[in-house]
Structure 1
Amino acid sequence: MNAQQMVEHLIDQVRYTNGVKTPVDTGLPPDFAERKQRGLNLSYDFPRNIILGTLPEDYEYDDIETAKQQLVKEVETFHRYFAANPGLEVLHGGFGIMNYNEWVIWHGKHFTHHFKQFGIIQ
Protein backbone atom coordinates (compact mmCIF):
# COMPACT_ATOMS: atom_id res chain seq x y z
CA MET A 1 0.00 0.00 0.00
CA ASN A 2 1.36 3.40 -0.92
CA ALA A 3 0.25 6.73 0.57
CA GLN A 4 -2.44 7.49 -2.00
CA GLN A 5 -3.86 3.97 -1.70
CA MET A 6 -4.00 4.45 2.08
CA VAL A 7 -5.89 7.73 1.80
CA GLU A 8 -8.30 6.26 -0.73
CA HIS A 9 -8.78 3.22 1.52
CA LEU A 10 -9.75 5.51 4.40
CA ILE A 11 -12.16 7.41 2.12
CA ASP A 12 -13.80 4.13 1.14
CA GLN A 13 -14.16 2.98 4.75
CA VAL A 14 -15.60 6.30 5.99
CA ARG A 15 -18.17 6.24 3.18
CA TYR A 16 -19.76 3.18 4.82
CA THR A 17 -20.52 5.36 7.85
CA ASN A 18 -21.52 8.65 6.27
CA GLY A 19 -24.48 7.56 4.16
CA VAL A 20 -22.62 7.31 0.85
CA LYS A 21 -22.21 3.51 0.83
CA THR A 22 -24.39 0.90 2.49
CA PRO A 23 -22.68 -1.88 4.42
CA VAL A 24 -23.74 -5.37 3.40
CA ASP A 25 -24.44 -7.91 6.12
CA THR A 26 -22.40 -10.96 5.16
CA GLY A 27 -22.78 -12.52 8.59
CA LEU A 28 -20.85 -11.73 11.72
CA PRO A 29 -18.08 -13.95 13.04
CA PRO A 30 -19.08 -15.97 16.12
CA ASP A 31 -16.73 -13.94 18.33
CA PHE A 32 -17.92 -10.53 17.07
CA ALA A 33 -18.71 -9.20 20.57
CA GLU A 34 -15.18 -9.96 21.79
CA ARG A 35 -13.70 -8.49 18.62
CA LYS A 36 -15.76 -5.34 19.09
CA GLN A 37 -14.67 -4.97 22.71
CA ARG A 38 -11.00 -5.43 21.76
CA GLY A 39 -11.31 -3.25 18.65
CA LEU A 40 -12.80 -0.33 20.55
CA ASN A 41 -10.36 -0.66 23.47
CA LEU A 42 -8.15 2.43 23.27
CA SER A 43 -5.16 0.60 24.74
CA TYR A 44 -5.25 -2.04 21.98
CA ASP A 45 -3.36 -1.21 18.77
CA PHE A 46 -3.96 -2.85 15.42
CA PRO A 47 -1.41 -5.51 14.55
CA ARG A 48 1.21 -4.32 12.08
CA ASN A 49 1.35 -5.55 8.49
CA ILE A 50 -2.11 -7.08 8.41
CA ILE A 51 -3.61 -7.57 4.96
CA LEU A 52 -7.38 -7.88 4.78
CA GLY A 53 -7.98 -7.78 1.06
CA THR A 54 -6.60 -6.72 -2.27
CA LEU A 55 -5.97 -3.13 -3.25
CA PRO A 56 -7.68 -1.58 -6.28
CA GLU A 57 -5.45 -1.40 -9.33
CA ASP A 58 -6.59 2.12 -10.24
CA TYR A 59 -6.77 5.31 -8.22
CA GLU A 60 -10.08 7.07 -7.77
CA TYR A 61 -8.35 10.48 -7.57
CA ASP A 62 -5.75 12.03 -9.86
CA ASP A 63 -3.30 12.78 -7.07
CA ILE A 64 -2.82 12.42 -3.33
CA GLU A 65 -3.64 16.07 -2.58
CA THR A 66 -7.07 15.70 -4.16
CA ALA A 67 -7.59 12.43 -2.27
CA LYS A 68 -6.62 14.08 1.02
CA GLN A 69 -9.11 16.90 0.43
CA GLN A 70 -11.81 14.31 -0.29
CA LEU A 71 -10.98 12.42 2.89
CA VAL A 72 -11.57 15.58 4.92
CA LYS A 73 -14.93 16.06 3.16
CA GLU A 74 -15.95 12.45 3.85
CA VAL A 75 -15.13 12.79 7.56
CA GLU A 76 -17.11 16.04 7.75
CA THR A 77 -20.03 14.26 6.05
CA PHE A 78 -19.74 11.44 8.62
CA HIS A 79 -20.18 13.89 11.51
CA ARG A 80 -23.09 15.70 9.81
CA TYR A 81 -24.79 12.39 8.92
CA PHE A 82 -24.88 11.22 12.52
CA ALA A 83 -25.86 14.68 13.80
CA ALA A 84 -28.82 14.74 11.40
CA ASN A 85 -29.89 11.22 12.39
CA PRO A 86 -29.92 10.96 16.19
CA GLY A 87 -29.66 7.39 17.41
CA LEU A 88 -28.32 6.16 14.08
CA GLU A 89 -26.37 2.91 14.17
CA VAL A 90 -24.34 1.48 11.29
CA LEU A 91 -23.13 -2.05 10.70
CA HIS A 92 -19.45 -2.89 11.05
CA GLY A 93 -18.70 -6.14 9.21
CA GLY A 94 -16.70 -7.64 12.05
CA PHE A 95 -18.20 -6.00 15.13
CA GLY A 96 -21.91 -5.66 14.42
CA ILE A 97 -23.99 -2.53 14.90
CA MET A 98 -22.13 0.54 16.15
CA ASN A 99 -23.27 4.00 17.22
CA TYR A 100 -21.61 7.34 16.52
CA ASN A 101 -19.26 7.26 19.53
CA GLU A 102 -18.11 3.76 18.67
CA TRP A 103 -17.48 4.78 15.07
CA VAL A 104 -15.48 7.82 16.21
CA ILE A 105 -13.25 5.51 18.25
CA TRP A 106 -12.96 2.99 15.43
CA HIS A 107 -12.15 5.55 12.72
CA GLY A 108 -9.64 7.18 15.06
CA LYS A 109 -7.89 3.88 15.64
CA HIS A 110 -7.98 3.00 11.94
CA PHE A 111 -6.56 6.37 10.89
CA THR A 112 -3.91 6.15 13.63
CA HIS A 113 -2.88 2.70 12.43
CA HIS A 114 -2.26 3.92 8.89
CA PHE A 115 -0.73 7.23 9.95
CA LYS A 116 1.80 5.31 12.07
CA GLN A 117 2.38 2.93 9.17
CA PHE A 118 3.42 5.88 7.00
CA GLY A 119 5.35 7.74 9.71
CA ILE A 120 2.87 10.64 9.82
CA ILE A 121 2.55 10.19 13.59
CA GLN A 122 4.51 8.15 16.13
Structure 2
Amino acid sequence: MNQFVDITNRKVLYRLLLNLDAQAKPLWGKMTPQQMIEHLITQVQYTNGVRIPTWDGPHENTATRKQNGIYTNNEMPRNIILEELPEALTYPDLETAINQLMKELDTFDRHFNTLNLKVIHGGFGPLDYNEWIIWHGKHFTHHLKQFGVID
Protein backbone atom coordinates (compact mmCIF):
# COMPACT_ATOMS: atom_id res chain seq x y z
CA MET A 1 0.00 0.00 0.00
CA ASN A 2 2.85 2.33 -0.88
CA GLN A 3 0.50 4.65 -2.75
CA PHE A 4 -0.63 6.10 0.57
CA VAL A 5 1.06 8.60 2.89
CA ASP A 6 3.04 6.95 5.67
CA ILE A 7 1.90 8.79 8.77
CA THR A 8 4.71 7.18 10.78
CA ASN A 9 7.29 9.11 8.76
CA ARG A 10 6.55 12.36 10.53
CA LYS A 11 9.32 14.41 8.89
CA VAL A 12 7.99 13.70 5.40
CA LEU A 13 4.39 14.13 6.55
CA TYR A 14 5.17 17.48 8.17
CA ARG A 15 6.87 18.72 4.98
CA LEU A 16 3.85 17.65 2.93
CA LEU A 17 1.49 19.46 5.27
CA LEU A 18 3.60 22.61 5.17
CA ASN A 19 3.16 22.60 1.37
CA LEU A 20 -0.50 23.48 1.88
CA ASP A 21 -1.36 27.01 0.84
CA ALA A 22 -3.89 28.52 3.25
CA GLN A 23 -5.67 30.12 0.27
CA ALA A 24 -5.75 26.99 -1.90
CA LYS A 25 -9.05 25.91 -3.41
CA PRO A 26 -9.87 22.21 -3.19
CA LEU A 27 -9.95 20.10 -6.35
CA TRP A 28 -13.22 18.72 -4.95
CA GLY A 29 -15.34 19.36 -1.89
CA LYS A 30 -15.94 22.52 0.12
CA MET A 31 -13.25 22.50 2.81
CA THR A 32 -10.54 25.08 3.10
CA PRO A 33 -7.02 23.82 3.87
CA GLN A 34 -7.39 24.76 7.53
CA GLN A 35 -10.81 23.11 7.81
CA MET A 36 -9.25 19.95 6.35
CA ILE A 37 -6.39 19.97 8.87
CA GLU A 38 -8.82 20.60 11.73
CA HIS A 39 -10.94 17.71 10.44
CA LEU A 40 -7.86 15.46 10.52
CA ILE A 41 -7.10 16.65 14.07
CA THR A 42 -10.59 15.62 15.18
CA GLN A 43 -10.31 12.25 13.46
CA VAL A 44 -6.92 11.52 15.06
CA GLN A 45 -8.32 12.57 18.45
CA TYR A 46 -10.88 9.76 18.12
CA THR A 47 -7.92 7.37 17.95
CA ASN A 48 -5.60 8.86 20.57
CA GLY A 49 -7.85 8.90 23.64
CA VAL A 50 -8.84 12.58 23.48
CA ARG A 51 -12.31 11.91 22.05
CA ILE A 52 -14.42 8.81 22.60
CA PRO A 53 -15.50 7.08 19.38
CA THR A 54 -18.83 5.31 19.00
CA TRP A 55 -19.89 2.31 16.98
CA ASP A 56 -23.39 1.01 16.65
CA GLY A 57 -22.08 -2.46 15.77
CA PRO A 58 -21.87 -5.21 15.24
CA HIS A 59 -23.23 -4.78 11.74
CA GLU A 60 -23.59 -7.63 9.32
CA ASN A 61 -21.26 -6.12 6.69
CA THR A 62 -18.69 -4.52 9.01
CA ALA A 63 -16.08 -7.19 8.24
CA THR A 64 -16.47 -6.61 4.50
CA ARG A 65 -16.23 -2.82 4.89
CA LYS A 66 -13.12 -3.24 7.05
CA GLN A 67 -11.54 -5.62 4.54
CA ASN A 68 -12.21 -3.24 1.66
CA GLY A 69 -11.27 -0.12 3.60
CA ILE A 70 -8.11 -1.34 5.29
CA TYR A 71 -6.72 -4.33 3.41
CA THR A 72 -6.98 -3.17 -0.20
CA ASN A 73 -5.42 -0.38 -2.23
CA ASN A 74 -8.85 1.23 -2.57
CA GLU A 75 -8.79 4.97 -2.14
CA MET A 76 -11.47 6.93 -0.36
CA PRO A 77 -14.09 8.23 -2.80
CA ARG A 78 -14.10 11.91 -3.63
CA ASN A 79 -16.90 14.11 -2.31
CA ILE A 80 -17.81 11.71 0.48
CA ILE A 81 -19.53 13.65 3.26
CA LEU A 82 -19.74 11.99 6.65
CA GLU A 83 -20.06 15.08 8.83
CA GLU A 84 -20.94 18.74 8.55
CA LEU A 85 -18.19 21.35 8.55
CA PRO A 86 -17.95 23.31 11.80
CA GLU A 87 -19.08 26.91 11.69
CA ALA A 88 -15.85 28.30 13.15
CA LEU A 89 -12.18 27.38 13.05
CA THR A 90 -10.54 26.22 16.27
CA TYR A 91 -6.97 27.38 15.59
CA PRO A 92 -5.80 30.89 14.66
CA ASP A 93 -4.03 29.84 11.45
CA LEU A 94 -3.07 26.90 9.25
CA GLU A 95 0.45 26.52 10.64
CA THR A 96 -0.83 26.30 14.23
CA ALA A 97 -3.39 23.69 13.15
CA ILE A 98 -0.69 21.65 11.37
CA ASN A 99 1.50 21.74 14.48
CA GLN A 100 -1.46 20.58 16.57
CA LEU A 101 -2.10 17.73 14.15
CA MET A 102 1.50 16.58 14.58
CA LYS A 103 1.07 16.67 18.38
CA GLU A 104 -2.13 14.63 18.10
CA LEU A 105 -0.27 12.03 16.05
CA ASP A 106 2.42 11.79 18.74
CA THR A 107 -0.34 11.28 21.32
CA PHE A 108 -1.81 8.59 19.04
CA ASP A 109 1.51 6.69 19.11
CA ARG A 110 1.81 6.97 22.90
CA HIS A 111 -1.83 5.95 23.40
CA PHE A 112 -1.32 2.68 21.56
CA ASN A 113 2.20 2.05 22.87
CA THR A 114 1.13 2.32 26.49
CA LEU A 115 -2.09 0.38 26.15
CA ASN A 116 -2.26 -2.67 23.94
CA LEU A 117 -5.71 -1.86 22.65
CA LYS A 118 -8.11 -1.53 19.79
CA VAL A 119 -10.02 1.68 19.09
CA ILE A 120 -13.41 1.87 17.40
CA HIS A 121 -13.80 3.07 13.82
CA GLY A 122 -17.38 4.11 13.11
CA GLY A 123 -17.66 1.95 9.99
CA PHE A 124 -15.11 -0.80 10.54
CA GLY A 125 -15.45 -1.55 14.24
CA PRO A 126 -12.40 -2.09 16.48
CA LEU A 127 -9.01 -1.45 14.83
CA ASP A 128 -5.53 -2.04 16.21
CA TYR A 129 -2.60 0.36 15.88
CA ASN A 130 -1.40 -1.03 12.54
CA GLU A 131 -4.89 -0.89 11.07
CA TRP A 132 -5.22 2.73 12.19
CA ILE A 133 -1.85 3.54 10.59
CA ILE A 134 -3.22 2.21 7.30
CA TRP A 135 -6.55 4.00 7.63
CA HIS A 136 -5.06 7.33 8.69
CA GLY A 137 -2.61 7.03 5.78
CA LYS A 138 -5.49 6.57 3.35
CA HIS A 139 -7.41 9.43 4.95
CA PHE A 140 -4.46 11.83 4.90
CA THR A 141 -3.71 10.83 1.29
CA HIS A 142 -7.31 11.56 0.31
CA HIS A 143 -7.14 15.09 1.71
CA LEU A 144 -3.63 15.87 0.46
CA LYS A 145 -4.83 14.92 -3.03
CA GLN A 146 -7.89 17.10 -2.48
CA PHE A 147 -5.58 20.12 -2.30
CA GLY A 148 -3.07 18.96 -4.92
CA VAL A 149 -0.23 18.50 -2.42
CA ILE A 150 0.27 14.99 -3.85
CA ASP A 151 -0.93 13.43 -7.10
- The question of 1:33 aligning with 2:69 is answered no
Contact 2:54 2:121 in 1 (8 A): no
Unaligned runs of 5+ in 2: 1-30
Aligned-partner residue type, residue 15 of structure 1: Q
Match of 1:10 in 2: 40
Aligned residues: 121
- CA deviations 1:19-76 (Å, max 9, x no partner) are 1111123345431111100100341111111111210010010111100000000001
Structure 1 CA distance, aligned partners of 2:121 and 2:109?
Answer: 17
Aligned-partner residue type, residue 105 of structure 1: I
Structure 2 CA distance, aligned partners of 1:23 and 1:118?
Answer: 27
In percent, how many aligned pairs have the same letter?
58
Unaligned runs of 5+ in 1: none
Q: If the length of structure 2 is used for normalisation, what is the TM-score?
A: 0.76
Match of 1:70 in 2: 100
Match of 1:50 in 2: 80
Structure 1 residue 9: Cα displacement: 0.2
TM-aligned CA distance change 1:28 to 1:6, over 3 Å: farther
Q: If the length of structure 1 is used for normalisation, what is the TM-score?
A: 0.94
Contact 1:10 1:71 in 2 (8 A): yes
Contact 2:57 2:125 in 1 (8 A): no
- The question of 1:120 aligning with 2:120 is answered no
Match of 1:110 in 2: 139
